[in-house]
Each structure stands twice: as structure tokens, then as C-alpha cells.
Structure 1
Amino acid sequence: MVVSGALTLLPAAIGESAVPVAAAAQPPLPVPGTVLSGIGEELANPGGSSPGSNDWSCRPTVAHPDPVILLHGTAGNRQTEWGTLSPLLVNAGYCVFALTYGNDPSLPWPLSGFGGLGPLEQSGVQLADFVHRVLAETGARKVDVVGHSLGTILPEYYAKFLGGTDTIGRYVSLAPFWNQGLPVGTPGLGTSSGGAVPAAPPPVPSLCASCDQTDPGAPFMTMMQSGGVYSPQIRYTNIMTRYDEVVVPYTDGYAPAPNATNIVVQDQCAQDFSEHLALVADPVALTDVLNALDPAHPRPVPCTFVPPFLG
């Protein structure tokens, strides 16, 4: 399959010098080539973790002193989106952790596996607790974060309003939406008026509180954008695709600043047709992630055909 062939470029692009000696003794984890891998892992191991992630015995190396925390998008969880990136990062020598936030663990699976639905204030507290645990267990001073979609806004809430600014070093966003919010009418998600017309109180609680909060013009997004979208102490990388069908326009994720780098994957590779979800397994985008986390050792960004919806 073309996608799998594309991903074979990534380990070669990493380079042996980027892998600590201690990690080299372990056989590399398989790196699947599509977004379907994480979904398959969830079906096979409900509520589990992506390969290589949440190893609480992992200790950061001198080469990669900051553990990496992965944050899923709406209706995802710690396993469904990271079947490709988690083993890729572990093979590169990182300690990798991921949590499911904004779900209801009291529900039976698979309902308990749908995260990112609860109020973002509550999810922010979950993230803060998780970061503190990662720092305590690993002995690290800071973490790096990689988020997708809704998972791109949550760390900034933690940084701005929950005292997390000093604990995040590098902040990598896949399909972010800094400038406006997710448009009303995102399939199966948004339920409010987006602030354009006052909405009557719903007769039952929203099934996706975070969707209402990220509507354009919603008070939560206005709060997040006040004073600028970035925290000055953090280094940001935004990775976007022109074919994003959820963040519309995709340039809502483009926010220039001295401490931010903005990347559109099609500017690097015209054969890349990844859309919103496919970014999490796109070899072009994931090489950008590696380079954002370790800019001192840049890898060549591959250019190969990337289909939509698969990565």
C-alpha cells in the first residue's frame, strides 16, 4: 500500500544519531500507516493505550529531556488517534504519554471511549492533573504537547488559566483553530447558535459541551483569544492542511508570532491530500512534528501521495 511505503521514510528520516543508546537496545515498534490503526487498537483493547505510550517506567534522556503528551480531538481518546505517532515518537527516543479527557468513564464501552465531549474547563483540570503526574513520575521539569483538533486548544487553556505556562516547552498543533473556532454545523458536533442569535436553553444537557464552547463567537473562544492566542514562554508549531473539512477555513489555524511557526503541508508536498483526520497519520505532517520537537536535528520532509481520510 502506498501509505505504508510512505511511512517507511520516517524512521530513515529520524537518523540514528537522534536515538539514545539506551533506546537502541530495544527493537523498534511497528509504525502503522493509516488512521485506522488506532481505531483497530481500540476495538482490540478497549480503553487501552497506543503502542509505546503511558509507560510510567520511562525516563527522559539527555537528547529528549521533555516527555511528550498527546491530546486527541473531539470524540477521540488516548488510543484512537495515536496509532502512528506514538510508536514513531517512542522509536525516536521520547517518553510518550496520552490521556482520554472529557469522557464519561461511568458509561459502558464504547460510550466511555468517546472523549473530548465534556466542558473544557473540566478537561483542563484533567490535563493539569495528568501533566503533574507525568512530571512527578519522570522527574522532568517540562513537557511538550502535541494536540489534534480540539486537543490543540486545551493545552492553551491549561497554560493561560490553570498555571501551566511554565510546564510546557514546545506546543505542536495538528489542525488548530486559533482565530475563530469550529464552524456551526460541524457534522454531528455543534449544537448551539455560535453566539450569532441567542439560543433558547436546551431541554436536555448538550451531548457535546465542548462543541458549544468552540463555536465561533462562543464565550469560551472569546476568552481564549483575549490578550492574544499564545503564551510568550512557549514555542508553538501549527500544522495545517488546505483540505481540512472541519476547520474552515484552514487558515483559522494560522497565527503568526515570533514564537510560532506555521506550516501548511501542501506547501511542502502537493501530493498530500490529507484532510482533518488524516493529519494524525500523514508522513509529511508527522515529520514536521518530529522537527518541531527537535529543531536542532531536522529530518528531511518526505513528499509522497497521501490519501484523504487514511493518512
Structure 2
Amino acid sequence: MLPWKRALRPLTALLLAAAVAVVPAATASADAPSSGWNDYTCRPSTAHPRPIVLVHGTFGNSVDNWLALAPYLVHRGYCVYSLDYGQLSGVPLFHGLGPIDESAGQLKVFVDKVLAATGAAETDIVGHSQGGMMPRYYLKFLGGAAKVNALVGLAPDNHGTTLNGLANLLPYFPGASDLLSSATPGLADQVAGSAFLTKLNAGGDTVPGVHYTVVATKYDEVVTPYRSQFLTGPDVRNVLLQDLCAVDLSEHVTIGVLDRIAYHEVANALDPAHATPTNCASVFQ
């Protein structure tokens, strides 16, 4: 095997691990109800007036990423929706691979659809991995700040990832970066220092009017270093799971698809007026 192919294999494998839930691939679409979510007859309540839009990660999809969090939020009285984005032709189920600026355009269309269906003025967005970072492009460049109250990111790659240094090897293999960009531009956009991330983060991490929450784990093996996930801005709350529960061993995948301690922080971010302390016992709540 050629050296550059050996370099790309672990890079792709780790990004795959970033967002694929440890469940069988689903066949439902974002337009069909999925265990209580994606129900376009749902009307937001006075207690929870904003619908929730869930944004999957790289190689994820609108169902598999949210088999735990979506029902968790529906049970708490929210109208919850999820979309597929970043699809590549001929690649079913595994999404988030297209150019991220185009994916943000898909999010814009989806948010408009949800707001029209629910009659709400704003939505809240919760995303995992790329899904916690990509909406920032929508907020900053596509008018999303006027339609979004809060963005909650679970292990978002806000400043890209070195994949424990693997991405730093790409310049040493001629053609590797070009291959990555042409075949899966959504992956190339997430490498620390990419042109996409440089544009996204220029002039500051946040935009006025949006509440930002980042929930990270120190055991993240995909978005590295994990502190690169945190945002800087006037309305930002950066949370490290292990500061809330020292024995929480969640890594990049499980923080998004299984961790109820992280979910409790999501619930707090969505309804800060009724927030309660998050700790190890939150797994039972």
C-alpha cells in the first residue's frame, strides 16, 4: 500500500468513529416520524416554545445519531426535528461528507421548514461533532442568528482537529490533501487550519444574539486537542464533562449518542431558567 494511502486510512477511520452511532443503520428519513420526533404536527408549548433541530456528525444521519437524545428531549415536552445533510452521490446513510458551507445551506432550508411548520419564531440547535460546528457557518454567514436562540455543541470541532497529529502528516504525502478534498470535502474542511475553518473563525467565534454551549470530554480521541472545541465569546458556556462527573469516561462517540450526563447539560442549555445541577446522578434523570 502506498504511504499516503496508509496515512488516509486512519484519518478516515477516526472521522468515521466520530459520528456513527453504535446501532444498525436506519432507513427512515428526516421527513418521517421517528419514535416521536420529526412530527410536523407537533406544536411547541408555552413551557418549550422553540422547536429543537438536531444536527448529526460526520458519517452520521438524521436517525442513528439521535436514537437516545431525541426521545430524551421529546419526553421533556419539546418538538424535535433532525435532518440529513452533506450527502454524497452513491453514499447512502453516511452523510456529512459534502462541503460544509453547502451543508450549512441545507441547514438553513431545514430550519425554515421547521419554523414554518411549527409557527415558532426561533429554534434551538443541538449538534454532535461536525453538527455542533457547521451551524456556526449558518449563524455567521447565512442569516441564521435571527432564527436561532441557542446552539449546543456536543464534542464540536469548532477549531478543527489534528486527529492526535495524524492530520499534520498530510503535507508529507504529495496529493493526499487534494485527494481528501476532492473525494470527501467535508472531511478536509475539518482539518485544523483549513480554509473553511480560517474563514469561519475569523473575527471571532460567536455572533451576537445567540447563546452558545459546548460540552466536551477529555477522553475525546477524534477532536484533538479537546480544548480546541471550546469557544470564546460574550455568551458562551464551555463545559468539560469530567468537571461535572469525574468518573464519566465518555469519548467522542458516546458523548453524543449515549451520555445522559451530557444530555442533562443539553437540557439545562435549552431551558436555563429551570436548570438543575449536573452530576453523576444525572444519568438517572
TM-score for the superposition, normalised by structure 2: 0.83
Counterpart in 2 of 1:4?
Answer: none
Q: Which amino acid counterpart does residue 267 of structure 2 have in structure 1?
A: L
Decide which of 60, 64, 70 is 2:54's aligned counterpart.
70
Counterpart in 2 of 1:211?
Answer: 187
1:296 matched to 2:248? The reply is no
1:252 matched to 2:228? The reply is yes
Superposed, 1:125-204 pairs within 5 Å as 125-178=105-158, 180-183=159-162, 193=170, 202=178
1:193 CA drift (Å): 3.8
1:52 CA drift (Å): 1.7
1:240 matched to 2:216? The reply is yes
Counterpart in 1 of 2:18?
Answer: none
Counterpart in 1 of 2:16?
Answer: none
Alpha carbons of structure 1 residues 287 and 53: separation in structure 2 relative to 1, 3 Å: same
Q: Which amino acid counterpart does residue 51 of structure 1 have in structure 2?
A: S
Q: Which amino acid counterpart does residue 181 of structure 1 have in structure 2?
A: G
Percent sequence identity is 41
Residues in 1 aligned to 2:163 and 2:244: alpha-carbon distance in whole angstroms: 30
CA deviations over 1:27-65 (Å, ceiling 9, x no partner): xxxxxxxx53xx23x34x454664222100001111111
Compute the RMSD of aligned alpha carbons.
2.6
1:86 matched to 2:67? The reply is no
Q: Report the secondary structure of 1:81's partner residue.
A: helix
In terms of fraction of residues, the more helix-rich structure is 2
Residues in 1 aligned to 2:104 and 2:56: alpha-carbon distance in whole angstroms: 13
1:197 CA drift (Å): 9.2
Q: Is the 8 A contact 1:72 1:100 kept in 2?
A: yes
1:124 matched to 2:104? The reply is yes
Q: Is the 8 A contact 1:283 1:302 kept in 2?
A: no
Q: Is the 8 A contact 1:49 1:79 kept in 2?
A: no
Q: Is the 8 A contact 1:272 1:305 kept in 2?
A: no
Alpha carbons of structure 1 residues 264 and 184: separation in structure 2 relative to 1, 3 Å: closer
1:138 CA drift (Å): 0.6
Alpha carbons of structure 1 residues 46 and 94: separation in structure 2 relative to 1, 3 Å: closer
Residues in 2 aligned to 1:153 and 1:198: alpha-carbon distance in whole angstroms: 29
Decide which of 261, 270, 280 is 1:284's aligned counterpart.
261
CA deviations over 1:159-185 (Å, ceiling 9, x no partner): 11111111010110000232x312257
Residues in 1 aligned to 2:69 and 2:103: alpha-carbon distance in whole angstroms: 22
Alpha carbons of structure 1 residues 184 and 241: separation in structure 2 relative to 1, 3 Å: closer
Alpha carbons of structure 1 residues 176 and 295: separation in structure 2 relative to 1, 3 Å: same
1:142 CA drift (Å): 0.4
Residues in 1 aligned to 2:51 and 2:72: alpha-carbon distance in whole angstroms: 14
Q: Is the 8 A contact 1:127 1:158 kept in 2?
A: yes
Q: Which amino acid counterpart does residue 160 of structure 1 have in structure 2?
A: K
Q: Is the 8 A contact 2:163 2:222 kept in 1?
A: no
Q: Is the 8 A contact 1:213 1:220 kept in 2?
A: yes
Residues in 2 aligned to 1:256 and 1:273: alpha-carbon distance in whole angstroms: 25
> How many residues were matched structurally?
260
Counterpart in 1 of 2:4?
Answer: none
Q: Is the 8 A contact 1:287 1:301 kept in 2?
A: yes
Alpha carbons of structure 1 residues 258 and 68: separation in structure 2 relative to 1, 3 Å: same
Residues in 2 aligned to 1:271 and 1:61: alpha-carbon distance in whole angstroms: 36
Q: Report the secondary structure of 1:125's partner residue.
A: helix
> Which ranges in structure 2 are unaligned for 5 or more consecutive residues?
1-20
> Which ranges in structure 1 are unaligned for 5 or more consecutive residues?
1-34, 307-311
Residues in 1 aligned to 2:86 and 2:38: alpha-carbon distance in whole angstroms: 18
Q: Which amino acid counterpart does residue 278 of structure 2 have in structure 1?
A: V
Residues in 1 aligned to 2:191 and 2:95: alpha-carbon distance in whole angstroms: 18
Q: Report the secondary structure of 2:252's partner residue.
A: coil
